[in-house]
Each structure stands twice: as structure tokens, then as C-alpha cells.
A and B are shown apart, each in its own frame.
Chain A
Amino acid sequence: MAKFQLKVNGKPLQVEADPSTPLLWVLRDHLNLVGTKFGCGVGACGACTVHLNGRAMRSCQLPVSAVGTQAVTTIEGIVGTEKEMHPVQKAWLELDVAQCGYCQTGQIMSAVALLKSNPNPTEAEIESAMTGNICRCGTYLRIKAAIQQAAKSSKK
């Protein structure tokens, strides 16, 4: 067990955990931020996607000891303004993307990171950026459309 000072969703937090504990389980078990999901534990499905300094990262593959001072953002932390949802979340609602909904927070985290680095992605760029996120219900077409819509709405 060791103590770690983390910066999660803009807040400094202290956790005590084994240094090898993946960030995923620190978020879920220690910090009760359950929007980050466990899907495979081997970085193959994307359900656990969070941002590390704004970049998409599979939290199941990242030991808490490797996080250091890097800013961690989870789905709970991407709200646009105090009351407003993030434009990507809004697009998700407008296009009624979800079925079971389990993978969608990971999908949204990948999409937000994509639009941050590439505000106007082509279809191929979306496919490439999102291909690490599995949706077992098969909502891929709506996910893609929602990303395109969010890209458009941010341009306005």
C-alpha cells in the first residue's frame, strides 16, 4: 500500500492503494467514480477510457503509480459548464445513441479526446480513433453520426 496524490476532474485527491492497482479500479473502488467501466481488463474494448492530460487512455492498463501529476478526467468530469452537458453528450442524446449503455461513457471519452485534437475529423479518422471502443449492441452508426454532429455544433 502506498499513498498517491491524484488530480481527478480538477480536484486534488489522495488515495491509498497498491502501486500496481490500475487507475480503473482506483476510480471505481476507491473514488466511487463508476462511470468508467470495466469491460475486458486488457485494453481491448475501450469501456474504461479516461483522459490523461486530455488524451484518451485505457485506465485498466495504467497503474496508479504511473499517473503522477497528470490530470485525470473521467466521464463525471467532462460537463461543459455548470449546468450544461458536454456537446458530445448532447449529441449522444439527440441521436438517441445508446442501447444497453454500458460502453457509451468510454465511447464518449474517446470521442471528446478525438474532437479536442481534431475538431473536424473525416469519417475515416473517426473510425480509426474509435475502433478501440467496442459496442456489443452495435450502435456504431449512431456514435459516428453523433461525433459528426458534435463537431458541427462546436463550429457554430
Chain B
Amino acid sequence: MKNANNNQSRRSFLKVTSLTGGGMMIGFSWFANLIPNEAIAAATDKMDWVELTGFIKITPDNQVKIFNPNPEFGTNVMTSLPMMVNEELEADWSKVIVEMGDYDTPRFKSQFTGGSRAMAMAWKPLRTAGATARLLLMQAASNEWGVPMSELTVFKGVVMHKASNKSANYGALATAASKLPKPEKVELKKNADFTLLGTPQKNKVGKEIVGGESLFTLDYKMEGMLIAMVIHPPAFGMQLKSFDATEALKMPGIKAVFDFQVYKDGYAKAGFDTRAFNKLIAVVGNSTWEVMNARKKVVAQWEPIQDTKEMVMARGGKREEIIPAGLESTENHLRLMHEMQKKPTRVARKDGDPETAFKNATKVLERTYTAPFLAHNPMEPISCVAHITDEKAFFVAPIQIPEMMKQNIVSNLDIKPEQIEMKLARMGGGFGRRAYGHYIVEAGHISKRVKAPVKLIYTREDDLTNGIYRPTYIMTYKAAIDKDNNVTAIHVIGGGIPESPLHENRFPAGVFDNYLAESWDMPSNITIGAYRAPRSNFNASAEQSFLDELAETVGKDPLDFRIEMLKKAKANPVGKNNDYNADRFIAVLELLKEKSNWGSTASKNAKRGVSAYFCHASYAAHVVDVTMKNGQPYVEKVVTAMDCGFVVNPEGAKNMVEGAVVDGIGNALYGELILEKGATVQKNLNNYRIIRHREAPKKIDVHFVQNNIDPTGLGEPPFPPVFAAVANALYKATGKRLYNQPYLKELGKV
């Protein structure tokens, strides 16, 4: 876990490049090298980088480098987090070099991409790092010139003393600054004084991306590196019995075929250690195509699993978990979920006397919603480079939270924590999939066995069939309505396989005197994990579809009905643990109402749906317009209102919201992973449907509530409310309420 030796790795990569290169390498970039060409990269290797505060390095000839601590999978932290540092550092942003930090969580304090937490976690530490470095540089100037700090000014990386007409750039001051004691107190700017934060800034890695430079794990090469692939059981509920590699080993370029166990017997899995199968066959060879072909020649025998005990680390220590035997199917899951909804469950929250309210109701509205398993399908298939030697364990890993993999690597690969050296590659998407780094351990086992650097590659089929998925869920909402059309009670039951989606303290909890929330889950051998706004992504679809239908039932405008409920919760909150701020929620809906011209005649005639949700500390609301295109319902336009606190980089933020909206529309209309006899029916992108160009809206208008609240996340919050906005608009367009995702299937349009 020591700071990796960038230069050495970079040189070995350069060497490989020049050996095999033959095309036009218009640039060169491997983490450190967000620099225009090889010559400069080589030159900077020789320079002395002076480190200030762990996040900043400066050369004597005034190159300023800012480290991004957080793994990047497309939320643009490579730009937004260094912006935070530079706001206070005040170097020349246009010339700042941004570099992905290696895995070194003690140095960076936090390296966590997930849960939409990057902005909030970085907000003070990164600005403090920038401000500290600026103070040190100013102190160095003050010492050298014998003038008080208070007379110094800083502009674009130059410290100036007006009275004596002296100036020096950061490069000239860096060495002296690095030897000074850190200031005890650092003051941060007020938001009103920001010059960089809050302004739209382009992606710092944009050129490298459009140039196709080597950025991703799959692009990484090392001398002597072999390619590895794995073979896993053909279905959940199956395991390896035996295999014959005779033919595979005869194939050209093949070095080894062997089986291996990913986690040791009795290893207690922590939250991000999920993996589908523990015994895999590895095929290792010289090139990807050779390994792909040899893999087909391995003859494997599989057998059904018995109920299997596994140890898991949970809050409160180790406990046993039973992985049930059997070949599961979507059909069976749906039947079981509907049955479970009728059985007694765990009461998660109860306010007032819902039983009496339902008994006395004039009308009861009850609706049940379901959603299927989903696969993350990040565009870059799963991969990891590993080189395990006696001295160290080197990885290039696309991993969202590297620290969470440490114990797993240490325990299952018999490596000391200090031997781990991990480069955090840019990830070709994640959506939660790359929080689960079993592939790092798999690559490690294979490298140990073949005693060489290896790149483990999953094909798309491997990830889709051997995956970690969004669970399948069900939720029933029930409302008691009195003779005056007042809602007197809400009852919600949420369940899923193998996890419940319920968030019992979310809106509309807190609104109604009588409220009951119940929850259940059922074990499964299908492996699941976080998927963009876990649980919320389904919760929101059920809750916001139901509230829409409830508004119609009691004769109210759906958007006004939500505001009215929130005002009630604000004036008179029921219960103590409501996890939303009614004021901010209302403000988002008011902004949406204004920007979408909700209530205008044109709006009333449009096939529109509205939905709003709070999760991951941010508020999001959408109005969706549906038209018909080639006989299919088409989401043509979306208006979005968001409150994620102070918007760090408005350009990146807008892009993120647009993407979440498109992702939401796609999953609402098409997203579905079906299981039959324990195996996924969809095996590749030719039948697992992801939204495409012509299905994306023509327009997405994104509006942010302007405030100075510390920033919160954006990767997840705009996603969950899209589903119900689509469903509610589809209702207007087709006259049919939708309860089961994917909605196009329910509409009979697939």
C-alpha cells in the first residue's frame, strides 16, 4: 500500500508501447501522463516533484499536479475533486495536470466512489489541502523576501508582493514550502468568493478520452503479461465437479488451464466481497483470442449445489449465511414474491392506528408493483491486471472502493497489507458493479499460479451470466380514503429476492397520522449488489406511481398533491425519523413546476408524468413528456429539478443528470434480466436491452436549486424518480396504469 513508483511502471509501459507500436500514437497517457506527448512525459519523469499536503505536487519549473483520490467511473471526479483543491490552491487551472492517485487511502483519507458521496466527503478535506499548500507557498515567499504574509497576494500560481514589486511562481517556492511546518489553522473561502468552483469546467481527461489513449484496465500492458479468462458454472445453483483440459492445452498460445478456489473455506465475506461462484477454471495464454478459443475446448462437468453455509461479516461480527440449493427462475420468483406479500412480515415502522383507519375507510386504493433483476453492464467488461511476486502484489484494478478489498486480498492471497500496490484505472462505467472486486482476487490467484503478470478479462457473457445484479423486488401500497376524499392512512409492504427495497422513513412517512411499513426478504443463490441508487431505484418507482394514482383517486393534481403532502409533513411531521427535509423537497417541486410550465394549457394537453424522490442526500424531480414514435411510446422531453447543494461543476453536473435520466428511461422501458433454470436468459447485449440513440429523449432540461448548502451527490439521486415519471406519462399516453417493469413489456410493446 506504499505510494507506488509511478515512474518505473510508466517506463515499463512505455517500453512495451515502443516495442509493439506501429500505429500513430497521438499521445500517451497512463494515469500520470495527462500530458500531451511522450517527450514531455519522459522529461517530467526526471523532474523532482515536490509534494505538498499529499494532494499536490509541484516541480521547480512550475508544473502543478493535483491528485484525484477517488476512483473515476464517469462521474467526473477527475475534474470536480481537483477543482476543489485548486479553488484554494489558486494555481492556473488551465495548466494544472490532474493525476489519478494510486491506492493509498491513509494518504488520501478517503478513496470512495459509491453512494454519491464523493462531493460531500471531499468538500472540506480537499479545499483544506489546497489552502494549506497555498499558505506554505506564501510563507516561503514571505520568508525569502522578509515581508509579512498579509502583504502578499496570489494569482494563477504566482505569489506577489506589490510594494517591493517582487513575484515568484509556485515552482520557485515549492522546495522551500515543502520544508515548512504545516500551518495550524487554515481558513477556507466563503462560497461567494469562489472563482473556479461553481463555474462550468470541461473534463480534464477529455482529450485522452477522445484520442483513444490507454486509460482503462483492459488497455494496460506489462512485459511478459499473459491473458487469463475464467470458466464459471452455467447456472446459479451449480458448481464445478470435474474438467478435462487435454484439448484446450493443445491449443496454440495456451500456457495453463487449472481450477482454483477464489475465497478460502470459512473466509468471512464482508459487504463488498460478493462473488457468484467460488470455484472457477482459469485458462491462461498469450493473447485474448487464443484464450477465448481454448476456453471453448475445456470440457467441464457441473453438479447441483447443496444448501451451502458461508460466513459473512456483518455488523456485530461473523454470522452464518445459507446459500440455498436449487435452480431459480423469474417465474418462480414472481410467484413467491406475490405469496410473501400476503404473509405476516416484519413491521419496520408504525405510526398511529392504521388498522382502525383502514377499517373506517370509505375507499381503499391498493396497488402492487414489481421489478426484475437488472445487470449493470458497464461498457468496459470486468478486468484486472495482477502481478504477484514474493516481494509485492501489484494490481491495476477498476475498483470503486479499494480499501474495502484489502482484507479480502490479504486473507485469500496470503499477502501482507504493505505488499499491496494498486493502480486505480479509469473505469469504463460501474453503476455499482465495480464495488465488488472478486475479480482482483481471481486475477491474483492466477498470477500466483502462473508466476507472471496476468490480465484477467471477462467477456460480456461472463459478466452477464456470472454477475452481481440488482435484486428483483415487489411492493404493495395501500391508502385509506375517507368520505371527504382525505387520505387517512398509508400501508406499504416491500420485499425482494434476496433483499427488501423498503426505506420505511422515506416520504410519504411523516405525512400521515396512520402509517405502517412492513418488510421481508427471501434467500437466493443469485448474487446481488448495489445498483445505481440501491433499493431507491425501485422504491421510487412504486411510491411515485402510487402517489400519482392516489392523487387521481382523490381528485387532485399530482404535482400539487405532492407539495400539499410535504407542507403537511413540514408543519406537522408525524414520527421522529423522517429522513428528508420537507423544505428542500418542496423547493425542488416548485422549481420543477415553474420550469416545466406545469398547469399551463399546453402542459395539461401533453402526455406528461411527474415524479420526485429524495435519496443519497439530494432531491430530484422530473416531468416527462411522452409521444408516439413508430408505434412505440417515446419519451421525447424531460424537465428536471435538482437540489444537490452547491453545484461544484455545473457542466459535469448537467451531464450526469442527463445520463441518469437516459439510464432511467432505458431501464424503466426495457431493463430486464430473466432467469430460467438458474441461468440468465440474456447473455449478451444482443438480447439484454440497453437504451440506444434513437430511444433517448430529444431534450433534457436540467435546473438546479441555487443554494450554498455543502454539495451532495448526483450520480444516483436523479435516477430513481425517472421510472415513475415515465410510468405516469405512459398512463396519460395510453390510458393504462403500469405496475410491472419493464413497462414496454407490460404494455405489450416488446
Contacts and interface: CB of A to CB of B under 8 A. Distances in A.
Interface of A: 1, 8-11, 13, 17-18, 20-22, 25, 27-42, 44-45, 47, 74-77, 79, 85, 89, 92-93, 96-105, 108, 123-124, 126-128, 130-144
Interface string B32-73: 000000000000000000000000000000000000000011
Contact of A101 (B26, B74, B697): B74
Contact of A8 (B23, B26, B651, B666): B23
Given A35-B211, A76-B23, A140-B662, A40 B685 contact: yes
Contact of A9 (B24, B457, B656, B661): B24
Nearest to B286: A29
A40 B658 contact: no
A100 B428 contact: yes
12 contacts: A29-B288, A30-B20, A35-B212, A37-B380, A39-B460, A42-B686, A74-B212, A97-B655, A100-B378, A134-B692, A138-B658, A138-B660
Interface stretch (B200-208, B404-412, B510-518): B200-208
- Determine which residue in B76, B215, B658, B659 has the highest number of CB atoms from chain A within 10 A of its CB, and name it: B659
Contacts of A32: 16-17, 20-23, 221
Interface string B210-226: 11111110110100000
A33 B25 CA distance: 8
A104 B203 CA distance: 14
B23 A96 contact: no
B173 interface: no
B696 interface: yes
Contact of B693 (A18, A105, A136, A143): A143
A45 B379 contact: yes
B203 A138 contact: no
Contacts of B215: 101
B259 interface: no
Contact of A41 (B203, B210, B460, B655): B460
- Main secondary structure, interface of A, reads loop
A38 B218 contact: yes
Contact of B288 (A28, A92, A103): A28
A20 B210 CA distance: 29
A31 B25 CA distance: 11
A81 to B, nearest CB: 11
B652 A136 contact: no
- Determine which residue in A27, A45, A102, A126 has the highest number of CB atoms from chain B within 10 A of its CB, and name it: A102
Contacts of B260: none
Given A1-B252, A41-B684, A131-B694, A139 B655 contact: yes
The 9 A-B pairs at the shortest CB distance, nearest first, are namely A35-B212, A138-B662, A102-B428, A100-B74, A75-B212, A101-B209, A99-B74, A140-B696, A138-B659
B211 A75 contact: yes
Contacts of B659: 99, 137-139
Interface string B646-684: 000001100110111111001000000000000000001
A17 B219 CA distance: 19
Given A99-B76, A127-B693, A34 B658 contact: no
B549 to A, nearest CB: 28
B747 interface: no
B287 interface: yes
A141 B206 contact: no
Given A13-B22, A47-B379, A98-B210, 15 more contacts: A10-B24, A22-B289, A29-B289, A32-B20, A39-B381, A40-B684, A44-B684, A45-B379, A45-B685, A76-B24, A96-B203, A100-B429, A135-B379, A137-B74, A140-B692
A49 to B, nearest CB: 11
Interface in B608-657: 651-652, 655-656
Contacts of B658: 138-139, 141-142
A89 B206 CA distance: 9
Nearest to B457: A38
Nearest to B377: A136
Interface string B702-740: 000000000000000000000000000000000000000
B275 interface: no
B424 interface: no
A30 B659 CA distance: 34
A75 B208 CA distance: 11
Contacts of B697: 141
A29 B287 contact: yes
Nearest to B206: A93
